[in-house]
Amino acid sequence: MPLTFAEDSPAAIPLHIIETAALAAWLEQQPKAVADWVGLNGFTGKLGDALLVPAAEGGPVMALAGYGSAEKRARGRYALAAAAMKLPKGSYKIASGLPQNLLETECLGWLLTGYAFDRYKKTSGASAALVAPEAVDAARVEAIAAGEALLRDLVNTPTSDMGPDQLEAAARKLAETHGARFSAIVGDDLLEQNFPMIHAVGRASTTPPRLLEMTWGSAGPKLTLVGKGVCFDTGGLDLKPAASMLLMKKDMGGAANVLGLAHMIMALGLNLQLRVLIPAVENAVAGNAFRPGDILTSRKGLTVEVNNTDAEGRLVLADALALAAEDTPDLVISMATLTGAARVALGSDIAPYFTDDEGAASALAAAAGRVDDPVWRLPFFEPYETKIEPKIADLDNAPAGGFAGAITAALFLRRFAGETRYMHFDIYSWSSFNLPARPKGGCGQGIRALLEAMPELLPS
């Protein structure tokens, strides 16, 4: 169903959002019939409570949504969505109780309750519709919701229907929607145009590897987004255990997130020049698969010793980052479901990122707090550079020892970003549980924070 706001009308039901501690005071201001109905139905204002209050003639006169307490809300996100999921079909208009600084995020959460991945099994989405509050930029919230829905669909789709070729088709469709330019370099053409590591990682698949490129905008600062598009990762010859493959359809989550962010940027018409680069491959097993011990020569000319074929994401990103740097953009951002070490460090909900730019880090931290999209900065810790420098090549794709895996992967990628301003996100892109506005499955990480911070991240 479309994740859009309802049209305002006299039929819209007034919605009062009430904290638990504020319920008694609110009830004192209501007619006795309302107070009696609320008490009879056990509404306490706890997080996720929802109640319709009928008029004398039977129709709803108002609706109530429990907003819990600040302590309870701090333990999750999209608090209003928890109640929205329980409200019956109808159109609702916020009448009171929602703080101004939370309007956009809570309204977005409400819209996202309408998301359902129903490609293979039809499900009913949320039926309660929300009228956009006057203080909310409805077009902006709808664009963010659409970008989030796009990336969720991409991540949730199994590789049988979302291989490198279908990921190309999805990116091409997005480009056509926004009048962007699109091209793809496929198969052996990657070798002819000097993308040897993308080719090496993807050549064992029956679907040829490719590099996707989308460009949009002709004025303003240059922003390049690079997303890891490993559509399935068996681990290659360093084969993953079966249990570790169960979520590997989401190994293109970096690509999905940059496409979701690209949609937001283009739909909102931001004043910038956007470039999106996605190395799209499947890390498969066959007689021509790249091997542990192989030495690969990258687009940049740096040689890489392959110590583990399951550390393939950084290889394909390296060639794409080298291309990105050649255009001297104002900012390069890479996003990838890259390391388990990042999950061990920060869990599944917080997106770790790396940057040497103190101003960018400050702007992003502030933006993440405003839009409730948690990120956390990890260091490009230079003393660890020696860990990625083997004896017989310039770089090692999988340093031994297992420590600081997210940092050594980020340091590896930074070697290919050149002198450009660079930010790298090591994301999970998956919700492991059914949560308000975030059902189990693919989800965005860090992109709302990036969108919010964009005016500070790019030169005016």
Cα–chain center distance at 164: 19
Respond yes or no: is residue 240 known to be catalytic: yes
| Helix (H) / strand (E) containing 225 | strand 222-227
Cα–chain center distance at 301: 32
Distance CA 460, CA 457 (A): 9
Which of 140, 240, 370, 377 does the annotation list as catalytic? 240
Distance CA 93, CA 380 (A): 47
Which of 314, 414, 421, 438 does the annotation list as catalytic? 314
Pairing of strands 430-431, 441-442: antiparallel
Q: What would you report as the CA-atom Rg of the chain, rounded to the nearest whole angstrom?
A: 24
Which residue type sits at 252?
M
Choose among 270, 272, 277, 315: nearest CA to 297: 315
Choose among 366, 358, 180: nearest CA to 267: 180
295 neighbors 306 (Cβ within 8 angstroms):
yes
- Residue 194 burial (CB < 10 Å; 0-12/13-18/19+)? middle
Look up residue 314 and give its two tokens: 């950084």
E-strand stretches of 247-337 = 273-283, 295-297, 303-305, 331-336
Respond yes or no: is residue 122 known to be catalytic: no
Distance CA 169, CA 373 (A): 29
Distance CA 456, CA 460 (A): 8
Pairing of strands 181-186, 128-130: unpaired
Distance CA 41, CA 205 (A): 59
Choose among 46, 113, 52: nearest CA to 85: 113
Cβ count near 219 (within 10 Å): 7
Pairing of strands 273-283, 210-216: antiparallel
Query: What is the set of active-site residues?
Result: 240, 314
